[in-house]
Amino acid sequence: MKITLHIWRQKNAHAPGRMVRYELNDVSPEMSFLEMLDVLNEELMTKGEDPVAFDHDCREGICGMCGAMVNGVAHGPQHGTTLCQLHMRHFKDGDAIYVEPWRARAFPVIKDLVVDRTAFDRNIQAGGYISVSTGSAPDGNAVPIPKQIAERAMDAAACIGCGACVAACPNAAAALFVGAKISQLGLLPQGQPERKRRALSMIAAMGEELFGSCTNIGACEAACPKSIKLEVIARMNRDFITASFTERPETVEFAG
């Protein structure tokens, strides 16, 4: 396959960026998108040029590291897959492909396709955990959990924090990510002690990180490679409203 790539190149966070055109003449349909970028980088380094910087790690759709806008779509045209799982067979010979980094105020560009997603980490630090005694692992059957509840918690826990929801949202909102983390813990018995404070603290952190407001457009659900449902946002809103009326101000300083 012959592919024409238009890739966003930006030297660092403070330098201006621009789209740069590259031609690849021998792309295998069986390559993953990242393998195709590897081939491009080999050619660039052979010529003594700077390779394209992009995030990756497991390349199995697990870690959430990879991510870019491909022809304006987060993770590319294949539904329910990460960028590393996208294969070149989903494109045609002669296609022009435009590749850009996530676009969000909370995700500043570091270089080329790499963005700073530590805003997600700080949001988790604000309340995305439970207080448990350390030591040996508890017995798996010590806390009985109904199957339906366990499945809903696991569905929310499937979120890998890749940031596609933010990149796809016209408002650059992080509601799907935060809602998934709040739902994952709030559904389980172990997450009940901090449930109200968690909602207040994580939503406050979301605002501090300059994520936009959710207007229920649904682009986040469509872009999510793990098919997280909008219902987690509804659960987040319910927990937040309940906590706003029942938690005293002096008890909500959860993030420290």
Q: What are phi and psi of 165, to 5 degrees?
A: -65, -40
Select from 234, 203, 206, 202 the least CA-distant residue to 218: 234
* Contact in structure between 255 and 125 (CB atoms under 8 Å): yes
The CATH number given to whatever domain includes residue 196 is 1.10.1060.10
- 226-250: per-residue pLDDT in tens? 999 999 999 999 999 999 998 765 5
Q: Are 50 and 107 members of one domain?
A: yes
Mean pLDDT of 47-62: 96
Quote the CA–CA distance of 153 and 161 in Å, as a whole number.
16
Distances (CA, A) of 85 to 59, 70, 102, 169, 192: 7, 13, 18, 22, 36
Q: Are 49 and 94 members of one domain?
A: yes
Question: Which of residues 111, 138, 161 is at a domain's end?
Answer: 111
Q: What is the pTM of this model?
A: 0.90
Q: Are 99 and 159 members of one domain?
A: no
Answer whether residue 123 shows pLDDT above 90: yes
Expressed as residue numbers, the domain containing 45 is 3-111
Domain count of the fold of the chain: 2
Quote the CA–CA distance of 18 and 229 in Å, as a whole number.
35
Does residue 148 sit within a domain? yes
Q: Are 129 and 147 members of one domain?
A: yes
The CATH number given to whatever domain includes residue 68 is 3.10.20.30
**What is the model's pLDDT at position 256?**
40
Question: Which of residues 79, 111, 143 is at a domain's end?
Answer: 111
Mean pLDDT of 57-70: 96
Does residue 256 sit within a domain? no
